Structure formats: structure tokens, C-alpha cells
């Protein structure tokens, strides 16, 4: 309840200060942490993997919030870790994980915001693949704010795409009943051939 109140107060403050914003930024899902930005990833069922949420090209960032939604039938989120973008000035607001959704928000208690000329990590989320299919990690509900309490325009939200495959060797083995049926069919075939041979020799 306390965190929800914080989120409501913060969002209201940003809306009231809306006329003073002069900049914007983009957020993106990086499916392969480290190196260049990767919008897609392929894994196998049962695999665990990390996904980063990044902010790009922003000045005086002092607050942020985002939601990441996905198909709960295909994968599950097991943890979310702060990117520590505000360092010792970090004040956590939300880090909730639900079925098919992760919500994360932090603000800075420092006097000045953070400048990000390239990209910076907001949070890292760990997932486990549950079933084969194609899942979209949909980034939305993003809010950015500066150190003066003003909003920063969200110019874009780049989603991620995940392809989940069955492992190559994960082929169901024939059941005992099926093997017994095949054996019985083979015995019956040989028995009929034997009877035909006996009739022919008479």
C-alpha cells in the first residue's frame, strides 16, 4: 500500500509539472545483456535467461517506472534486480512480479539526476522458459522524471521477442502399452504366415 501511494503521488506530480519538460528518452528491452542491443533471443524449454531493460539518451534522470508484460503460459519471471542507476541515492518504489507482468520503479534522493549519453541499465529480470512458442516481452507504462519533478518524454518503447523451442532430444519415448501392441502385431503376422505355409505344404 505504501509503495502504491508513492507511485500515485509521483505520477500526479509529474502530470502537474508537465509544461516544463524539454527533453525525451527511449526505453528498450535487451534480450542478450551486454554488448549491442538485441531485440530477439532463442532458448529451449527449461532454460533460464536474463533480460535487461535499458534507458537511452536521457539527461537529468531522477525517476522512472516501467511495466513488462508477457505470456505467462510460455515463461515466468523469477526475479528482478535493480540496475543501480542512482547508486546510493536510490529509493525503491516498486519491484513486483506477477503472472505475466513485472512492474519496476525507482526514484533518486539526490539533488541532481543522472545523465545517460548512451544507454544505461534500469533493471535485469530473470526468466524461465516453460513451453514452446513465440513470446513478446511488451514494454509499457513507462514514466520518466527529472530532478526538478518534471516529466521526461518517453519517445519510444522497444519490445523484445523470444522464441522457445523444445530441446532436440526431447522426443517422447513410446509407452509400454504401445510397445506391447507392436509386439503382438508382429507375433500375429508371423503366426498367420506360419499357418499359410502349413496349408500350402499339404
CATH number of 2-165: 2.60.40.680
Q: Give the residue extent of every domain in the chain.
A: 2-165, 172-202
SS3 of 142, please? strand
SS3 of 3, please? helix
98 pLDDT more than 80: yes
Q: 135-176: per-residue pLDDT in tens?
A: 999 999 999 999 999 999 999 999 999 999 999 876 555 555
Query: In the prediction, which pLDDT does 147 show?
Result: 96
Look up the pTM and report it.
Answer: 0.76
128 vs 22 pLDDT, higher one: 128
Q: 31-59: per-residue pLDDT in tens?
A: 999 999 999 999 999 999 999 999 999 99
The answer to whether residues 123 and 82 touch, using CB atoms and an 8 Å cutoff, is yes
Residue 181 pLDDT level (bands cut at 50, 70, 90): low
Which residues 6+ apart lie within 8 Å of 170 measured at CB? 45
The continuous run of DSSP H or E covering 193 comes out as: helix 176-201
Q: Render 29-74 in DSSP notation, one character per residue.
A: EESS-SSS---EEEEETT-EEEEEEEEEEEEEEEEEEEEEE--TTT
Computed over every residue of the chain, the mean pLDDT equals 84
Amino acid at each position: 500500500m505504501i509503495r502504491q501511494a508513492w507511485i500515485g503521488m509521483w505520477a500526479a506530480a509529474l502530470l502537474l509539472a508537465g509544461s516544463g519538460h524539454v527533453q525525451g528518452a527511449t526505453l528498450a528491452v535487451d534480450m542478450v545483456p551486454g554488448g549491442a542491443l538485441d531485440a530477439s533471443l532463442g532458448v529451449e524449454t527449461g532454460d533460464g535467461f536474463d533480460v535487461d531493460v535499458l534507458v537511452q539518451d536521457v539527461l537529468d534522470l531522477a525517476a522512472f517506472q516501467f511495466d513488462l508484460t508477457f505470456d505467462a503460459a510460455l515463461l515466468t519471471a523469477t526475479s528482478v534486480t535493480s540496475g543501480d542507476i542512482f547508486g546510493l541515492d536510490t529509493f525503491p518504489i516498486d519491484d513486483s512480479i506477477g503472472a505475466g507482468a513485472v512492474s519496476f520503479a525507482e526514484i533518486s534522493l539526490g539533488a541532481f539526476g543522472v545523465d545517460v549519453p548512451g544507454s544505461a541499465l534500469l533493471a535485469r529480470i530473470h526468466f524461465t522458459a516453460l513451453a514452446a512458442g513465440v513470446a513478446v516481452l511488451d514494454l509499457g507504462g513507462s514514466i520518466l522524471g527529472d530532478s526538478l519533478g518534471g516529466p521526461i518524454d518517453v519517445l519510444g518503447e522497444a519490445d523484445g521477442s523470444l522464441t522457445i523451442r523444445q530441446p532436440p532430444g526431447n522426443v517422447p519415448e513410446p509407452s509400454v502399452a504401445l510397445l506391447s501392441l507392436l509386439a503382438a502385431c508382429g507375433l500375429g503376422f508371423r503366426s498367420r504366415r506360419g499357418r499359410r505355409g502349413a496349408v500350402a505344404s499339404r
